[in-house]
Structure 1
Amino acid sequence: MAPSAVEVEPITVPDVATLKLQAVSHSGPYKELAATKYDPDAEAGLKGHDAAKYPDYLPTWDRTEKYPPLQPFEHYEHGQDADPSYPNLLPEGAVSVTDLTPTIGTEVRGIQLSTLSAAGKDELARFVAERKVVAFRDQDFADLALDKALDFGSYFGRHHIHPTSGAPPGYPELHVVHRGAGDTSSVDQFFANRTSSVAWHSDVSYEQQPPGTTFLYILDKPSTGGDTLFVDAVEAYRRLSPLFRERLHGLRATHSAVEQANGSLARGGIKRREPVVNEHPVIRTHPTTGEKAIYVNPQFTRDIVGLKKEESDVLLKFLYDHLGYGADFQARVKWEERTVVVWDNRVTQHSALVDWKDGQRRHLARITPQAERPFETPFEG
């Protein structure tokens, strides 16, 4: 669990806007920000469960981490440089490629992401933009030094530092997802006032420049359960009638970090930055593929600019239901050991599933490169 809520004075930290967030590589000064709290039960294991396989990735919550607002930066989208035949990412005869559904989701075996050349990384960005989410099996990401994993991710954009999540000490760019071994009570509490764990969202869509090509890799997993659902927001857009699509173009929606920050503090968590609210187009365009996608989600979107509350609520509910119920343009990724899942956060939404209750550990790490500010191109009919 996160530490109890105790207010402390912020300390002086290096200027992350100019040093850390350029994301060229992981540099030294941030190792001085020592964690003030960690979960000892997670490290040791509980009730006959094994200790964490990757203790260096256990989450910490450091109340001294106080960062200034994120500054705009110029993002370069490497997928635009890719060879669409993917000779470096998917060399003929060397890899196994299996599509999970016609429009979204692919499983790849036989290539090691950590060894990709720059050309291979370009192809990775384009391939993920086209297939929306790709599960790469038998990867060595979890065994890399944390610096090396971050260096790999920095090719795809400026590292995002999550304002509230746990992170390994000294590595705030690594977003840790962890439910500890022996933890059954929090699952029961989770469902005490909920009937489902499905919570569709696009990661930190409230940022001025939300993430693009995103990496999530498994560290510990339950024997079954804990899968992740993804929805293709491009296909969801295409399913709408031309008249309805045309009406959505030109609309903008607010995305808010306020509720997430307040929720973190209420649970005894942290707030590394002051929460922001930003406006984005309801329909955004991908810079490489030119595809248009619905870009609102129930976790962070609050209203449509210029509409009255009742009007906004009705339109947003329709779009949320359309995405959430669209099983014919969704994919379910089952986690295996040594899996790295890569998705394009601009054109997908996802939800973790809390469906295991036996106290097994679920532990993952996310690398979250930011991308361009969402933009919209004209309606094309």
Structure 2
Amino acid sequence: MSATLTQSVTDTLDKVGKLKLSGEEASQSTPTGQEEKRRAEASGYKYAHLLPEWHTSLKLPPLEPFEHVDPGHQALKDPAPRSFLEGAAVRDITPNVGTEVTDGVDLTKLDARARSQLALFVAQRGVVVFKNQQAFIDSDPRWQIDDWGSFFGRIHIHPVSGYAKEFPEFHLVWREESGTSDERTYEGRINNLTVHSDVTYELQPPGLTTLFLYDSPPTGGDTLFISQTEAYKRLSPSFQSYLETLEVEHSGVEQYERAVKLHGADTVKRQPVKHIHPLVRRHPVTGEKALFVNRGFSRRIIGLKQEESDAILGLLYDHLERGHDFSARARWGEKGTVVLWDNRVTAHSALVDWSDGIQGRRHGARITPQAERPFL
């Protein structure tokens, strides 16, 4: 499966001219990004070559449907489905969601059986935080993408985000060391919580997702994860039954428009799409049901009047965002942290809680394999 999926990504990129941009194109980064890159290179920053650029001639065709078979299915047949954790230091972050593994697992050494077990474990716990994984973070990016990421699904290339020049498959997170970046603090709001699941506007949104930081401030910038499985379970049975009859339109248009406003039209690698998904989805491996809506990309419930749709979606958004008793925080201040989550059953939000007085570059990469089309 890994080789097939890797070839699919490679073929797509080859068709459009692809990875290595010319020096002229590389120089078209936003002024802020280019200035930060020059400072980083001058200071000897180890990961300067992986800082984001936005303006590009890389244009991708629409995504084609593909058949996804989740590797977690193999672990269901395994007589010891958590054997990859033998000897590891493991603790649950909360009872309902989140586990931390501090020692005893080297992600770079996991074979196919262990990776399948990992996929099942992440599906069951929602999010798993691995500490002491500097070897993984410093691995060859092509291995991270083509071997690691492609094992879990077809790699998604974000349609509008900044990316490292030679690795468009990386979705980069970035805040400049000087304290200004695309991650604006508050922007006229009283808080900056943006609970969402990634790119749910795609026909086949992501499954098991990997995020790691090359550099981060000593404090701040945690990621909040919310169990959409537990959120569904908290609802009354009659309301659950009604929600299971509904479908929701998800849209990437607004994200596209914001990217164009911030960075210009030539930041766009693929045109925006809208797709309709069930409001409640079922995980293909665990069989559990989860809410599948988010304020960032869900737009309307099909077949309802606008006021009805807004009322129901608003209630569910508030339910997710207030669900402190079914959420967990992943902390990034410790070097060597790698976080894996199942995008089908968890929502998350970056916590942009730094102020001008907190200095430090925040820079990392997300590997985003697509999964199956949502179903109930």
TM-score by length of 2: 0.89
1:159 maps to 2:145: no
- 2:119 and 2:187 mapped to 1: Cα distance? 40
- 1:185 and 1:348 mapped to 2: Cα distance? 26
1:203 maps to 2:198: yes
Contact 2:13 2:60 in 1 (8 A): no
Deviation at 1:43, TM superposition (A): 2.9
* 1:170 aligned to which of 166, 172, 182: 166
Contact 1:235 1:293 in 2 (8 A): yes
Structure 1's 274 and 186: CA in aligned 2 closer, same or farther, altered over 3 A? closer
| More moved, 80-89 vs 140-149 | 80-89
**Residues 7-26 of structure 1: CA deviation (Å, up to 9, x unaligned):** xxxxxxxxxxx997724899
Deviation at 1:37, TM superposition (A): 3.1
Alignment of 1:216-231 (within 5 A): 216-231=211-226
1:326 maps to 2:314: no
Deviation at 1:32, TM superposition (A): 3.0
Structure 1's 254 and 21: CA in aligned 2 closer, same or farther, altered over 3 A? farther
**Residues 191-225 of structure 1: CA deviation (Å, up to 9, x unaligned):** 24111111000000000000000000011010100
**Residues 221-253 of structure 1: CA deviation (Å, up to 9, x unaligned):** 101000000000000000001001001012000
1:55 maps to 2:48: yes
Partner of 1:11: none
Deviation at 1:103, TM superposition (A): 1.1
Partner of 2:352: 354
Partner of 2:186: 191
Deviation at 1:64, TM superposition (A): 0.4
- 2:212 and 2:187 mapped to 1: Cα distance? 29
Structure 1's 223 and 373: CA in aligned 2 closer, same or farther, altered over 3 A? same
Contact 1:43 1:51 in 2 (8 A): no
Contact 2:68 2:371 in 1 (8 A): yes
Amino acid at match of 2:315: F
1:119 maps to 2:107: no
Higher helix share: 2
* 2:127 aligned to which of 120, 133, 138: 133
Deviation at 1:356, TM superposition (A): 1.4
**What is the CA RMSD across the aligned residues, in angstroms?**
2.2
**Residues 40-85 of structure 1: CA deviation (Å, up to 9, x unaligned):** 3323448xx9664411211112420111100000001100101373
- 1:369 and 1:175 mapped to 2: Cα distance? 11
- 1:319 and 1:51 mapped to 2: Cα distance? 47
Amino acid at match of 1:265: V
Structure 1's 65 and 20: CA in aligned 2 closer, same or farther, altered over 3 A? farther
Contact 1:198 1:352 in 2 (8 A): yes
Partner of 2:95: 102
Structure 1's 229 and 115: CA in aligned 2 closer, same or farther, altered over 3 A? same
Partner of 1:342: 340
- 1:37 and 1:105 mapped to 2: Cα distance? 40
Unaligned runs of 5+ in 1: 1-17, 377-381
- 1:303 and 1:349 mapped to 2: Cα distance? 18
Deviation at 1:130, TM superposition (A): 0.2
Amino acid at match of 1:295: F
Contact 2:129 2:339 in 1 (8 A): yes
Amino acid at match of 1:22: S
- State the aligned residue count: 354
- Other structure's SS at 1:267 match: helix
Contact 2:5 2:153 in 1 (8 A): no
* 2:296 aligned to which of 278, 299, 309: 299
1:182 maps to 2:175: no
Unaligned runs of 5+ in 2: none
Structure 1's 177 and 95: CA in aligned 2 closer, same or farther, altered over 3 A? same
**Residues 325-368 of structure 1: CA deviation (Å, up to 9, x unaligned):** 01000001111211110000000000001111223111110000
**Residues 149-174 of structure 1: CA deviation (Å, up to 9, x unaligned):** 11211000000000011111121111
Contact 2:54 2:263 in 1 (8 A): no
Structure 1's 170 and 77: CA in aligned 2 closer, same or farther, altered over 3 A? same
Alignment of 1:9-88 (within 5 A): 22-23=8-9, 30-34=18-22, 35-38=26-29, 39-45=33-39, 52-82=45-75, 83=78, 85-88=80-83
Amino acid at match of 1:374: P
Structure 1's 366 and 193: CA in aligned 2 closer, same or farther, altered over 3 A? same
| More moved, 144-153 vs 127-136 | 144-153
